[in-house]
Amino acid sequence: MVEENLRKIKERIRSACTRSNRDPGQITIVAVSKGRPIEQIKEVLACGITDIGENRIQEAVVKYNELAAGQPAITWHMVGHLQTNKVKEAVKIFGLIQSVDSLHLAQEINKQAAKINKLQDILIEVKTSPEAAKSGLKPDEVIEVINKITGLPNIRMQGLMTIAPLAASPEEARPYFRGLKELFDEINARRITPEALRMLSMGMTDDFEIALEEGSNMVRLGRAIFE
Protein backbone atom coordinates (compact mmCIF):
# COMPACT_ATOMS: atom_id res chain seq x y z
CA MET A 1 0.00 0.00 0.00
CA VAL A 2 2.77 2.40 0.94
CA GLU A 3 4.53 1.69 -2.35
CA GLU A 4 1.40 2.36 -4.40
CA ASN A 5 0.65 5.52 -2.39
CA LEU A 6 4.15 6.84 -2.99
CA ARG A 7 3.86 6.13 -6.70
CA LYS A 8 0.67 8.23 -6.85
CA ILE A 9 2.20 10.99 -4.72
CA LYS A 10 5.25 11.24 -6.99
CA GLU A 11 2.94 11.47 -9.99
CA ARG A 12 1.02 14.31 -8.33
CA ILE A 13 4.29 16.06 -7.43
CA ARG A 14 5.41 15.78 -11.05
CA SER A 15 2.15 17.31 -12.29
CA ALA A 16 2.23 20.16 -9.79
CA CYS A 17 5.84 20.88 -10.76
CA THR A 18 4.98 20.82 -14.46
CA ARG A 19 2.15 23.29 -13.86
CA SER A 20 4.48 25.66 -12.08
CA ASN A 21 7.60 25.12 -14.20
CA ARG A 22 9.64 23.51 -11.48
CA ASP A 23 12.00 20.55 -11.24
CA PRO A 24 10.42 17.63 -9.33
CA GLY A 25 13.93 16.41 -8.56
CA GLN A 26 14.31 19.36 -6.19
CA ILE A 27 11.37 18.36 -3.99
CA THR A 28 12.03 16.49 -0.74
CA ILE A 29 9.32 14.17 0.57
CA VAL A 30 9.30 13.89 4.35
CA ALA A 31 7.29 10.86 5.47
CA VAL A 32 5.59 11.93 8.70
CA SER A 33 5.31 8.69 10.63
CA LYS A 34 3.86 9.82 13.96
CA GLY A 35 1.57 7.15 15.31
CA ARG A 36 2.65 4.64 12.63
CA PRO A 37 4.44 1.39 13.46
CA ILE A 38 8.09 0.70 12.67
CA GLU A 39 7.05 -1.83 10.03
CA GLN A 40 5.43 0.90 7.96
CA ILE A 41 8.50 3.10 8.26
CA LYS A 42 10.56 0.21 6.93
CA GLU A 43 8.25 -0.01 3.93
CA VAL A 44 8.78 3.68 3.23
CA LEU A 45 12.54 3.30 3.51
CA ALA A 46 12.41 0.33 1.15
CA CYS A 47 10.81 2.66 -1.42
CA GLY A 48 13.81 4.97 -1.25
CA ILE A 49 12.48 7.65 1.10
CA THR A 50 15.24 8.86 3.43
CA ASP A 51 13.49 11.66 5.35
CA ILE A 52 11.29 10.67 8.29
CA GLY A 53 9.28 13.17 10.36
CA GLU A 54 8.04 12.78 13.91
CA ASN A 55 6.29 15.20 16.26
CA ARG A 56 6.98 13.69 19.70
CA ILE A 57 10.41 13.16 21.16
CA GLN A 58 9.70 9.97 23.07
CA GLU A 59 8.15 8.22 20.10
CA ALA A 60 10.95 9.43 17.84
CA VAL A 61 13.66 8.15 20.20
CA VAL A 62 12.12 4.67 20.30
CA LYS A 63 11.87 4.50 16.50
CA TYR A 64 15.31 6.00 16.03
CA ASN A 65 16.90 3.42 18.30
CA GLU A 66 15.11 0.60 16.59
CA LEU A 67 15.98 1.76 13.08
CA ALA A 68 19.41 3.27 13.61
CA ALA A 69 21.31 0.03 13.05
CA GLY A 70 21.68 -0.63 9.36
CA GLN A 71 19.80 2.52 8.31
CA PRO A 72 22.44 5.23 8.40
CA ALA A 73 20.85 7.12 5.51
CA ILE A 74 17.78 8.33 7.43
CA THR A 75 17.43 12.02 8.19
CA TRP A 76 15.04 12.51 11.10
CA HIS A 77 12.89 15.65 11.09
CA MET A 78 11.26 17.13 14.18
CA VAL A 79 8.00 18.65 12.98
CA GLY A 80 6.09 19.06 16.26
CA HIS A 81 6.32 21.65 19.00
CA LEU A 82 9.59 21.25 20.89
CA GLN A 83 9.83 22.04 24.59
CA THR A 84 13.15 23.36 25.85
CA ASN A 85 13.50 20.50 28.34
CA LYS A 86 13.45 18.03 25.42
CA VAL A 87 16.10 19.78 23.35
CA LYS A 88 18.98 17.76 24.76
CA GLU A 89 17.41 14.56 23.40
CA ALA A 90 16.27 16.23 20.19
CA VAL A 91 19.73 17.37 19.06
CA LYS A 92 20.99 13.80 19.42
CA ILE A 93 18.63 12.34 16.86
CA PHE A 94 17.20 14.99 14.55
CA GLY A 95 19.03 16.05 11.42
CA LEU A 96 16.57 18.89 10.96
CA ILE A 97 14.44 20.60 13.60
CA GLN A 98 11.64 22.20 11.57
CA SER A 99 9.63 23.69 14.42
CA VAL A 100 11.82 26.41 15.92
CA ASP A 101 9.33 29.04 17.01
CA SER A 102 11.24 31.27 19.43
CA LEU A 103 14.67 32.76 20.02
CA HIS A 104 14.66 31.09 23.43
CA LEU A 105 14.27 27.65 21.85
CA ALA A 106 17.01 28.40 19.32
CA GLN A 107 19.35 29.42 22.14
CA GLU A 108 18.72 26.16 23.97
CA ILE A 109 19.28 24.16 20.76
CA ASN A 110 22.54 26.04 20.25
CA LYS A 111 23.64 25.25 23.79
CA GLN A 112 22.84 21.54 23.63
CA ALA A 113 24.26 21.15 20.11
CA ALA A 114 27.51 22.76 21.28
CA LYS A 115 27.82 20.14 24.02
CA ILE A 116 27.92 17.36 21.44
CA ASN A 117 29.91 19.36 18.88
CA LYS A 118 27.06 19.46 16.41
CA LEU A 119 26.03 22.04 13.85
CA GLN A 120 22.26 21.67 14.12
CA ASP A 121 20.18 22.39 11.03
CA ILE A 122 16.90 24.15 11.78
CA LEU A 123 13.91 25.74 10.10
CA ILE A 124 11.92 28.59 11.57
CA GLU A 125 8.24 27.79 11.93
CA VAL A 126 6.09 30.69 10.82
CA LYS A 127 2.48 31.19 11.72
CA THR A 128 1.24 32.37 8.35
CA SER A 129 -2.45 32.45 9.27
CA PRO A 130 -4.03 34.49 12.06
CA GLU A 131 -5.47 31.31 13.60
CA ALA A 132 -4.70 31.67 17.29
CA ALA A 133 -3.97 28.19 18.61
CA LYS A 134 -0.96 27.35 16.49
CA SER A 135 2.70 27.78 17.26
CA GLY A 136 5.14 29.65 15.09
CA LEU A 137 6.58 33.13 14.81
CA LYS A 138 4.47 35.85 13.29
CA PRO A 139 5.77 36.79 9.84
CA ASP A 140 6.75 40.29 11.02
CA GLU A 141 8.89 38.81 13.83
CA VAL A 142 10.85 36.43 11.64
CA ILE A 143 13.66 38.63 10.33
CA GLU A 144 14.42 40.09 13.75
CA VAL A 145 14.68 36.62 15.29
CA ILE A 146 16.76 35.28 12.40
CA ASN A 147 19.17 38.16 12.84
CA LYS A 148 19.76 36.98 16.40
CA ILE A 149 19.93 33.29 15.52
CA THR A 150 22.66 33.87 12.95
CA GLY A 151 24.94 34.77 15.86
CA LEU A 152 24.54 31.29 17.38
CA PRO A 153 27.55 29.21 16.27
CA ASN A 154 26.03 25.73 16.58
CA ILE A 155 22.92 26.45 14.55
CA ARG A 156 22.58 26.52 10.79
CA MET A 157 19.45 28.24 9.49
CA GLN A 158 18.22 26.26 6.53
CA GLY A 159 14.82 27.77 5.86
CA LEU A 160 11.20 28.25 6.83
CA MET A 161 8.27 25.96 7.64
CA THR A 162 4.57 26.54 7.98
CA ILE A 163 1.39 24.62 8.66
CA ALA A 164 -1.60 25.99 6.77
CA PRO A 165 -4.89 26.27 8.65
CA LEU A 166 -7.45 23.50 8.35
CA ALA A 167 -9.69 24.53 5.50
CA ALA A 168 -12.68 23.30 3.59
CA SER A 169 -10.65 23.40 0.40
CA PRO A 170 -6.88 23.30 -0.16
CA GLU A 171 -7.17 26.35 -2.37
CA GLU A 172 -7.78 28.40 0.79
CA ALA A 173 -4.20 27.67 1.88
CA ARG A 174 -2.70 29.29 -1.22
CA PRO A 175 -2.34 32.86 0.12
CA TYR A 176 -0.52 31.58 3.22
CA PHE A 177 1.94 29.57 1.15
CA ARG A 178 2.45 32.50 -1.21
CA GLY A 179 3.11 34.81 1.73
CA LEU A 180 5.77 32.52 3.15
CA LYS A 181 7.49 32.17 -0.23
CA GLU A 182 7.63 35.98 -0.44
CA LEU A 183 9.21 36.17 3.02
CA PHE A 184 11.69 33.42 2.05
CA ASP A 185 12.65 35.32 -1.11
CA GLU A 186 12.96 38.58 0.81
CA ILE A 187 15.34 37.02 3.37
CA ASN A 188 17.52 35.71 0.56
CA ALA A 189 17.38 38.92 -1.50
CA ARG A 190 18.43 40.98 1.52
CA ARG A 191 21.09 38.41 2.51
CA ILE A 192 19.79 38.27 6.06
CA THR A 193 21.49 34.90 6.65
CA PRO A 194 25.19 34.12 6.00
CA GLU A 195 24.21 31.43 3.50
CA ALA A 196 21.01 31.64 1.45
CA LEU A 197 18.04 29.76 2.89
CA ARG A 198 17.51 26.54 0.96
CA MET A 199 14.46 24.82 2.41
CA LEU A 200 10.86 25.91 2.24
CA SER A 201 8.79 23.28 4.04
CA MET A 202 5.12 23.69 3.17
CA GLY A 203 2.37 21.30 2.22
CA MET A 204 0.76 18.28 3.86
CA THR A 205 -1.61 15.59 2.58
CA ASP A 206 -4.51 17.94 1.90
CA ASP A 207 -2.63 20.82 0.35
CA PHE A 208 0.79 19.76 -0.95
CA GLU A 209 0.02 20.40 -4.60
CA ILE A 210 -1.00 23.99 -3.86
CA ALA A 211 2.15 24.39 -1.73
CA LEU A 212 4.31 23.13 -4.59
CA GLU A 213 2.67 25.52 -7.03
CA GLU A 214 3.58 28.31 -4.62
CA GLY A 215 7.24 27.36 -4.28
CA SER A 216 7.56 24.69 -1.59
CA ASN A 217 10.53 22.37 -1.95
CA MET A 218 9.74 20.12 1.02
CA VAL A 219 6.39 18.42 1.59
CA ARG A 220 5.50 16.69 4.86
CA LEU A 221 3.18 13.79 4.15
CA GLY A 222 1.49 11.47 6.62
CA ARG A 223 -1.93 10.20 5.54
CA ALA A 224 -1.16 10.31 1.82
CA ILE A 225 1.63 7.79 2.39
CA PHE A 226 0.32 5.60 5.19
CA GLU A 227 -3.47 5.40 4.59
Ligand X SMILES: *Cc1c(COP(=O)(O)O)cnc(C)c1O
Query: Taking CB under 6 A as the rule, does residue 221 contact ligand X?
Result: yes
Query: Taking CB under 6 A as the rule, does residue 220 contact ligand X?
Result: yes
Size of the site for ligand X (CB under 6 A): 14
Query: Taking CB under 6 A as the rule, does residue 80 contact ligand X?
Result: yes
Q: How many CB atoms lie within 10 A of CB 64?
A: 19
Site map for ligand X, 18-47, x if CB under 6 A?
Answer: --------------x-x-------------
Which of 36, 67, 12, 77 lies closest to 207, judged by CA? 12
Residue with CB nearest ligand X? 222
What is the C-alpha separation between 177 and 73, in angstroms, rounded? 30
Query: Taking CB under 6 A as the rule, does residue 129 contact ligand X?
Result: no
Query: Taking CB under 6 A as the rule, does residue 14 contact ligand X?
Result: no
What is the C-alpha separation between 108 and 159, in angstroms, rounded? 19
Q: Which residues have CB under 8 Å from 56's CB, separation 6+?
A: 34, 80
Query: Taking CB under 6 A as the rule, does residue 205 contact ligand X?
Result: yes
Q: Which residues have CB under 8 Å from 66's CB, separation 6+?
A: 38
Query: Taking CB under 6 A as the rule, does residue 170 contact ligand X?
Result: no
Query: Taking CB under 6 A as the rule, does residue 56 contact ligand X?
Result: no
Query: Taking CB under 6 A as the rule, does residue 224 contact ligand X?
Result: yes
Query: Taking CB under 6 A as the rule, does residue 55 contact ligand X?
Result: yes
Query: Taking CB under 6 A as the rule, does residue 174 contact ligand X?
Result: no
Instruction: Assess contact for 38 and 67: CB atoms under 8 A.
Output: yes
Query: Taking CB under 6 A as the rule, does residue 100 contact ligand X?
Result: no
How far is residue 223 CA from its own chain's centroid? 16
Give min distance, CB of 189 to ligand X, in A.
27
What is the C-alpha separation between 14 and 8, in angstroms, rounded? 10
Instruction: Assess contact for 221 and 31: CB atoms under 8 A.
Output: yes
- Of the ranges 63-71, 112-120, 150-158, 202-210, which one interacts with ligand X (CB under 6 A)? 202-210
Query: Taking CB under 6 A as the rule, does residue 5 contact ligand X?
Result: no
Which residues form the interface with ligand X (CB under 6 A)?
32, 34, 55, 79-80, 163, 204-206, 220-224
